[in-house]
Structure 1
Amino acid sequence: MDPAARPAAALVPLLGAPRARLLALLGEPLPTVELARRLRVTPSAVSQHLRVLHAAGLVARARDGRHVLYRRSPLGEELARTGEPPDPRP
């Protein structure tokens, strides 16, 4: 795996290894099929994880022609950058 796409160690216990790897890969907008290819899993497995990450507000999606591209949301960026949830206190 590309070193830039390695999840922060703290994310694995929080999200689970598959979702942490997926979040790490989403530094650039990518469609489900490309994510599946890079992770060497089925597109349906990726879709299931993306649904959970999207519901948690960690990824955003946008249509680009026939594809839906996924990327980290601002919250997902913060989590991927630090490996810890942001401090909710002001």
Structure 2
Amino acid sequence: MERGAGRGHHRPGVAGRRPRARLLALLEEPLPTVELARRVGVTPSAVSQHLRVLYATGLVTRARDGRQVLYRRSALGDQLTTGGGAVPTPSADA
């Protein structure tokens, strides 16, 4: 088999999505990192790294609940996930 063969091919549905897209799809309800890792089947550390990027880009929000942090899709993440219209972009005049 050629090196790198099969890259870029993915199965349809949640199981075949890229990790961040899978996480974003799951975050319709607030969930902690450990639960997300269990549902996706990866380590909490891997989930944490992806959540860090999703948070930095404004696609998820986070809130502390006792000893855990709950993550949820932001309004922007909802728009992207549900196809709820164009995602607003900042204007150059602002």
Poorly superposed stretches of 4+, deviation over 6 Å: none
Root mean square deviation, CA, Å: 2.6
Q: Which amino acid aligns with 2:28?
A: G
Shift of 1:87: 4.5
**Aligned pair in 2 of structure 1 residues 59, 66: CA closer, same or farther (>3 Å)?**
same
Residue pair 2:78, 2:84 contacting (<8 A) in 1 also? no
State the match for 2:55 in structure 1.
Answer: 54
Q: Which runs of 5+ in 1 are unaligned?
A: none
SS of 1:62's equivalent in the other structure is strand
Whole-Å separation in 2 of the counterparts to 1:84 and 1:22: 21
Q: Which runs of 5+ in 2 are unaligned?
A: 1-12
Larger radius of gyration: 2
Higher relative contact order (CA 8 A, sep 6+): 1
How many residues get paired?
78
Q: Name the structure with the higher helix share.
A: 1
Whole-Å separation in 2 of the counterparts to 1:72 and 1:60: 6
**Aligned pair in 2 of structure 1 residues 85, 46: CA closer, same or farther (>3 Å)?**
farther
Residues 17-36 of structure 1 show CA distances to partners (whole Å, capped at 9, x for unaligned) of 10000000000000000000
* Matched-pair identity in %: 68
Shift of 1:83: 7.8
Whole-Å separation in 2 of the counterparts to 1:51 and 1:89: 22
State the match for 1:66 in structure 2.
Answer: 67
Q: Which amino acid aligns with 1:80?
A: T
Whole-Å separation in 1 of the counterparts to 2:31 and 2:53: 17
